[in-house]
Amino acid sequence: MTGSNQIMLEIRQVSKNFGGLNAVKEVNLSINKGEIFALLGGSGCGKTTLLRMLAGFESPSAGAIFIDGEDISQIPPHKRPVNMMFQSYALFPHMTVAQNVAFGLKQEKNRLAAPEIAKKVSKLLHLVRMQDFASRKPNQLSGGQRQRVALARSLAKKPKVLLLDEPMGALDKKLRSQMQLEVVDIIEAVGVTCVMVTHDQEEAMTMANRISVMHEGEIMQVGTPSEIYEFPNSRHTAEFIGSVNIFDAMVTQLEPDYTRLSCTDLTSPIQVEAGINAPIGASLGIAVRPEKITMTRVKPEQADNWLMGVVEDIAYLGGHSVYYVKLESGKRVMTIGTNNDRHEQKVTWQDKVYLYWSITSAVVLYQ
Amino acid sequence: MSLGRRSVIGVPYIWLTLFFLVPFVIVFKISFSEMAYAIPPYTDLFTWADEQLTLSLNLGNYGYLFTDDLYIRAYLSSIRIAAIATVICLFVAYPIAYVIARAEPATRNALLMLVILPSWTSFLIRIYAWVGILKNNGLINNFLMWLGIIDQPIAMLNTEFAVYVGIVYAYLPFMVLPLYTNLMKLDNSLLEAAADLGAGPWKVFMTVTLPLSKAGMIAGSMLVFIPAVGEFIIPDMLGGAETLMIGKVLWQEFFNNRDWPVASAVAIVMLLLLLLPITLFHRYQARELEN
C-alpha cells in the first residue's frame, strides 16, 4: 500500500489558535502517496481542526501544508486538489444521487461535455455499487447508501488527497464494520492518498496503514496500528488504544540487556527487556496489556513479573472473559482469559490467583 | 379524542368560524343582493310574502364588474403592482436575511430587532411619514436641491414609484422573517461540501443556497403578495389619483357610492383571484413535506 515512499502530503509546524485556545500545536506529519492515514484522538484533541485546515475551511495560524510539493496553505477550498467526505455526508438534498456525484465535475474549469460527465458518474456509481439509485434523492437512501454516494462524490474529481471526517460516525455498529472494509477496498482500488479523522480506535486500526494519536492539539505518536498498540510511547496512547495495566515503578537495576524496577503495588520486581534510557531511581510507567498476562492458581516459578490477588470481577464477553484482580495494595489489574478450556476448573469470584507475564511483554512509558 | 384535546383544537376553529367564516358568508350574501336606499343599504335575499319564501339572487353585481373596464383594470393593475413590489421585496430582503442568518448569535438578535421594530409603530403613521419624505418639498427633494444635484423637485409622491416604496417598506419584515428562518436551517456543511468540490462563492450560492431557500422565498412572497393586492392605505396615501388598485376601488364603492352589493362582489372576486396563488403555494408545501 505504501509501495512508493513518495510524500504526497506534508504538514510542517502547523498551529491553529482560536481566540487564545491552541487547538493544534506545531504539528509535523508526512503522509505517503497511496497511504490511508488516520488522525485518532478524543473529542477536542484538534484532529478535526487539522483536517479542516487540510480542506481549507480553516487556515493555519502558523506553519504550512504541502500537497505534492506545492504549498496550499493560502489556497481557498474550492481550488485545492483535495476532496472531503463529510461526517454527516453533506449530500445536496435537492439533487439526485447522480447530480450529487456530478457536482464536482461540473465545477471544473475545462469541464467535460455532458455525456462524458454522465459516463464518469455512472462509472463512479458502479464503483460504490449505487448504479441502481442514480435518480434517487438522498433522503430516499439508507445511511450506508448515503455514505457510498458521499464517497463516490468525493472521489469524482480524482483528488490528490481524500479526506474522511469520522467516516463511520453516522452508521450503526453492525453496518460500521462492514463499511470500514468496503471503504478501504474502494480507496485502495482507486489508489488515492487518504487522511481520515476518527475517535474510534478500532476504526483507525481496521482502516488505516498508519495512525497518528493526537491529544490536546499535539501528536503523541505516529506508527502502524501494531506499533501503536504494542509499543505505545506514552500513558495517554497506551490508555487510549485498547485496555492496559499501568504500574508506577522505579528503576533499581540497569543492565545492558535488561532492567529491573520496583513497584509498590507488587511484591515481585518488574523486569523489562533491554536497557532503558533513564537513571537508577527514575520513576516510570510500565504498561502491560491484559491479554499478555497469564492467570494461574499456583505460584509461578519466575522470580520477577508476577503478582498475587483476588478475583474481584469477571466480565463475560462470549469468546473471552475479562478478569479484574484486586491486589493487596488495592490496585486492580485486568487480564483476559479465553473461554475455551473446558477441563480446567474455572476461576471464579473471590478466588486467589497469580498473574504473570514474560519479560518481553511490558512496555516502558517515559511520559 | 379527549375533551381536553378537542377543546384545544376547538378554540381556533371557533375563532375562525366567528371572525372569518361568518363575515365571509355575510359579504358573500350581500354580493347577491341589490342596492337599496335603506339601512343597511341593500335588499334581503329572502323575502316572506303571501306565505311564500322567495330567494332572489342578483347576479347583476358580478356582471357589472365586467361591463365597466375600471374593475378589470383595477384588478390587473393591483396584481401587477403587488407582483413587482413582491419581486423588489425579495431582492431587498434576501441579502438582509442572509446576513442576519450568518451573523454571530448576539448580533443576530439585534439585527432581527431592527427588522421587526418599525412594525411596532402604527402602520398609518409610518406610511404618512413617507408622504413627508417623498413629497415635492419633502426630505429627499429638499436634500437633493440643497446639494445642487437638481433644480426642480422630482415628483415622487402620487406616483406608482411611491406605491412600490410604500409596499416594499411596509411588507419587508414579512419577506425577511421566513427567509431568515429558512436560511438559518441551511446546513453549513453543504456550503463547505460545494466549496470543497470546486464551486466558488457565487457558484455555491447559486447552486446550493438559492435552491435550498426556495421554500422561504415562496412563503415570503405569499406573505407580501396576498395582502399587497388588496392594499388600500398605501396606494391611497402615496399613489395619488393615477394609481389604480382594487383596494381603493373597494373603498370608493363602499363609502363614496355606498353600493355595498357591488363592493362585496369586488371583494369576492378578489378573494377568488388570490385563491389561485394560495392553492399553488399549499400544493408546493405539501410536496415539500412529502420529500
Q: Which helix (H) or strand (E) holds B271?
A: helix B260-290
Cell of B272: 377568488
- Residues 242-261 on A with a CB inside 8 Å of B are none
Residues B133-188: pLDDT tens digits?
A: 999 999 999 999 999 999 899 999 999 999 999 999 999 999 999 999 999 999 99
Taking the Cβ of residue B192 and every Cβ of chain A, the question of whether any pair is shorter than 8 Å is answered with: yes
What single string gives the DSSP state of each residue in A91-120? --TTS-HHHHHHHHHHTSTTPPPHHHHHHH
- Residue B163 identity (one-letter amino acid): V
Chain A residue with CA closest to B215: the answer is A94
Taking the Cβ of residue A81 and every Cβ of chain B, the question of whether any pair is shorter than 8 Å is answered with: no
Taking the Cβ of residue A137 and every Cβ of chain B, the question of whether any pair is shorter than 8 Å is answered with: yes
Residues A52-104: pLDDT tens digits?
A: 999 999 999 999 999 999 999 999 999 999 999 999 999 999 999 999 999 99
Nearest to B154 by CA among B134, B171, B128: B134
Residue contact B196–A77, C-beta within 8 A: yes
pLDDT of residue A4: 55
Quickly state the pLDDT bin for A3 (edges 50, 70, 90). Answer: very low
Nearest to B197 by CA among A56, A240, A270, A23: A56
CA distance A91 to chain B (A): 7
Find cell 509535523 and name the residue: A28
CATH architecture under which domain B68-258 falls: Orthogonal Bundle (1.10)
In 10 A of CB B230, how many CB atoms?
17
Global pTM value = 0.84
Residues A311-341: pLDDT tens digits?
A: 999 998 888 889 999 998 999 999 998 887 6
Taking the Cβ of residue B215 and every Cβ of chain A, the question of whether any pair is shorter than 8 Å is answered with: no
Find cell 469524482 and name the residue: A156
Which residues in chain B touch residue A156, judged by CB atoms under 8 angstroms apart? Answer: 197
Residues B8-58: pLDDT tens digits?
A: 889 999 999 999 999 999 999 999 998 888 888 888 888 888 888 888 888
Domain boundaries, chain B: 68-258
Chain A residue with CA closest to B288: the answer is A94
pLDDT of residue A1: 44
Residue contact B196–A78, C-beta within 8 A: yes
Of A77, A90, A137, the CB nearest to B187: A90
Of B189, B190, B196, the CB nearest to A83: B196
Cα separation of A337 and A319, whole Å? 9
Radius of gyration in angstroms for the set of CA atoms belonging to chain B, rounded to a whole number: 24
pLDDT of residue A92: 97
Domains assigned to chain A: 7-239 (3.40.50.300), 246-365 (2.40.50.140)
ipTM of the shown complex:
0.86
Find cell 420529500 and name the residue: B291
Query: Is residue B171 classed as helix, strand or coil in its secondary structure?
Result: helix
Q: Which helix (H) or strand (E) holds A18?
A: strand A7-18
Residues A36-64: pLDDT tens digits?
A: 999 999 998 999 999 999 999 999 999 99
Nearest to B45 by CA among B36, B56, B37, B35: B56
Strands, E assignment, A244-331:
245-254, 258-262, 270-273, 283-288, 294-296, 306-316, 320-326
